[in-house]
């Protein structure tokens, strides 16, 4: 496959793979409409609140795997660092604006971590540690996501390569925008904590 063709086709493939709504499919298998339950989000946090740990774990694995698989494909076809990052971004964007859900979707955190798992493993580990530390102290998953991904542009430069900064910046901006309602609830003190039923 020619390079120019790869650059066009792989982001499309990445967006379609990212669009697979694992949380929604897992919930539907249990007779639950996730878009009408809890926070109405299709991600693992809402699955945990509404259906418990195992469905949430399966959702998390699925959302991480699709991000990781997209990067593996891009690497397999020999794209350079920048274009691998673009493919990874389209996987996250696919989760956020799923073609299967009329361009609605989740917050993109797990899929972004899946991308980082292959694209920049050390940065992925740092991001997970910051998220986990924040959640351990506050029990707010959304706050953990906001803080850990706000640090992503800096951490990816310090721990990996400046060439990967464009991916970090656009993913942080996308995740920040998707968490704007969570941010307002955090400020007002109405955000739900992990383990709290809605």
Confidence at residue 35, expressed as pLDDT on a 0 to 100 scale:
83
The two tokens of residue 88 are 């990874």
pLDDT confidence of 45, banded at 50, 70, 90?
A: confident
Q: How many CB atoms lie within 10 A of CB 60?
A: 21
pLDDT confidence of 1, banded at 50, 70, 90?
A: low
The yes-or-no verdict on residue 196 having pLDDT over 70 is no
- Tell me how far apart the terminal alpha carbons of the chain are, to the nearest angstrom: 49
The two tokens of residue 195 are 């383990």
| High-pLDDT (> 90) share of the chain, % | 78
């Amino acid at each position: 496959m020619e390079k120019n063709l790869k650059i066009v086709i792989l982001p499309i493939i990445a967006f379609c793979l990212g669009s697979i709504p694992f949380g929604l499919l897992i919930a539907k298998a249990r007779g639950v409409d996730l878009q009408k339950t809890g926070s109405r989000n299709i991600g693992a946090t809402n699955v945990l609140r509404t259906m418990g740990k195992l469905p949430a774990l399966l959702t998390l694995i699925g959302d991480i795997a699709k991000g990781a698989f997209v990067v593996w494909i891009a690497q397999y076809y020999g794209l350079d660092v920048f274009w691998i990052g673009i493919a990874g971004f389209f996987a996250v964007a696919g989760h956020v604006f799923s073609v299967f859900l009329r361009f609605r979707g989740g917050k993109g955190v797990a899929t972004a971590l899946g991308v980082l798992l292959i694209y920049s493993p050390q940065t992925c580990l740092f991001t997970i540690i910051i998220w986990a530390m924040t959640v351990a102290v506050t029990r707010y998953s959304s706050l953990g996501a906001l803080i850990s991904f706000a640090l992503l542009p800096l951490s990816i430069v310090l721990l990996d390569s400046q060439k990967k900064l464009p991916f970090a910046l656009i993913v942080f901006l996308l995740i920040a925008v998707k968490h704007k309602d969570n941010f307002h609830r955090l400020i007002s003190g109405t955000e739900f904590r992990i383990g709290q039923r809605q």
